[in-house]
Amino acid sequence: MTSRWRLTPLWLCLVPFVPTGLSQEVNRTTPNKQMTDCGKNVDRRYAVCRGAWSGKTVALFNTWMAPDTNPGRRFDLPSPDGKKIIQVRGFHVRLSVNGKRFWTPFGNMHDAEVGWAPDSARLFVTWSESGQLGPWHTQVYDVTTAGLAEIPGVTRHVRPDLILRMKRASLPKWVATAEERAMWSTLEYCADDAVGSQWLNGSGEILVAGLAGPDSGCKYMGDFVVYRIEVMTERILQAYSGKDAHRLFGDEDLPRVDADDDEL
């Protein structure tokens, strides 16, 4: 057992592109994104880095640990259609639509990463309450000409479903002796984390990974189930094991799977 998520923080960076007339103090993403290493040698105030959980998201603040801050952050994240822009200036995050700027709650969300829907009608944000160990949340918003409008409860069925799966699952292979079974009985069912992966069916569905706890006090620590959710009904359309999700959706947008993992 280990004490951290089986997550490799994949801080990949997009080559900055600055359109004519835009100050070079701000970087934008562009439709053709060339992925490069976003590591120690970039200026994280302006670097455009993918989110830690998904290659379909972009990190708003380029922070990862709980105490970390990036007060000099300057960044613009346009929607795919180029008509809406998330603007980050330090801890202030605004949505610009048709020349009007609207407040967003993202400045209060640590380690936030945003994924625009392909049709630019919605976005999701994945964020942490306390850095890498979470709890992690994913919230979904309509993006309108009057600002953001949250669609509440999109992931609310993830936690109860994940706990039910853990209670029905067989014991992990390492729980073999009486001593190990006694220790197992003291562990908790942890399922407080839901991290966004990608949009599906335009902006009609979202793929979310429900995580079974990040530390050694949790049963099935580090295992996860991936849920395909219909946004407007909150209905879980399908659930996938970690390995099945990687096979179907690829490796870049999901938590890492170890070859010898037990699965829920």
Whether residue 76 has pLDDT greater than 90: yes
Identify which has the larger pLDDT, 262 or 248. 248
Confidence bin at 257 (pLDDT 50/70/90): confident
Q: What pLDDT does 259 receive?
A: 63
Structure tokens at 21: 């007339």
Whether residue 127 has pLDDT greater than 70: yes
d(CA 108, CA 61): 11
Confidence bin at 236 (pLDDT 50/70/90): very high
Q: Tens of pLDDT along 4-38?
A: 344 433 333 333 323 333 333 444 333 323 333 57
Structure tokens at 239: 């659930």
Whether residue 115 has pLDDT greater than 90: yes
Sheet holding 48-49, edge to edge: 35-37, 12-14, 48-49
d(CA 245, CA 223): 13
Q: Tens of pLDDT along 137-168?
A: 999 999 999 999 999 999 999 999 999 999 99
Q: Tens of pLDDT along 6-15?
A: 443 333 333 3
Q: What pLDDT does 215 receive?
A: 82
- Which helix (H) or strand (E) segment is 168 a member of? helix 158-168
Confidence bin at 213 (pLDDT 50/70/90): confident
8 Å CB contact between 193 and 211: yes
Structure tokens at 264: 């829920």
Which range among 30-44, 56-70, 176-190 shows the weakest confidence by mean pLDDT? 30-44
State the Rg of the chain over Cα: 19
Burial of 24 (0-12, 13-18, 19+ CB in 10 A): exposed
Tell me, rounded to whole angstroms, the distance of Cα 138 from its chain centroid.
7
Percentage of the residues of the chain whose pLDDT score is greater than 70? 84
First to last CA, the chain: 17
Tell me, rounded to whole angstroms, the distance of Cα 160 from its chain centroid.
20
Identify which has the larger pLDDT, 126 or 10. 126
**DSSP string for 79-109:** -TTSSEEEEEETTEEEEEETTEEEE-GGGGS
Question: Mean pLDDT in the chain?
Answer: 86
